[in-house]
Amino acid sequence: MWLTAQQRKEQKIQAGHFGKCGKMVIKPYSIPEEKKDAHLKVFLKFVRVSICGCWEWTGRFHNGYPCCPTPGGNTRWAHRVSYALFNGPIKAQRHVDHGCRNRKCVRPDHLEQMPPIENYLAIQRRKLRDIKKMREAAGQLTIFSVNNLNQ
């Protein structure tokens, strides 16, 4: 079904949903200065510092990512709330990437804004690197097992 221009304007697209073009809609996110204290109080209730230096989320999770309740009663991704609280607003169509590779982490200096394609490519590079490490480890195990058989 094709929509007219007026129907498209009237239709509200929420963050996290797919728009008519089939692309994920990622809305900008910022917290006004006057509301930062209230957000910070709620945010810090669910944070604990781990041994590795990450600020790990102890609250609710959805699809492996931490969810932060806001003072208004809504829920937002905790890493996006952390970035907006400490580093500034998040631009439209930007992902917030965990530099430490820990999904539970909400430490602001471990988070970085990036375009979705860059985030996707970084994930693919990490997967290839992990596969290569597994193959090398398997090869080493084979060599060690052969040496053990010869003795």
Distance of CA 55 to CAs 1, 130, 143, Å?
A: 47, 25, 41
Torsion over CA: 19, 88, 104, 102 (sign): positive
Q: What is the rounded average pLDDT for all residues in the chain?
A: 80
Whole-model pTM: value is 0.71
| pLDDT at residue 8 is higher than 90 | no
Distance of CA 49 to CAs 46, 85, 107, Å?
A: 10, 17, 9
pLDDT tens-digit profile of 23-61?
Answer: 556 788 888 999 999 999 999 999 999 998 999 999 999
* Separation CA 101–CA 119 (nearest Å): 12
> Hey, where are the domains in the chain?
34-114
**DSSP E strands, 85-141:** 95-98, 111-114
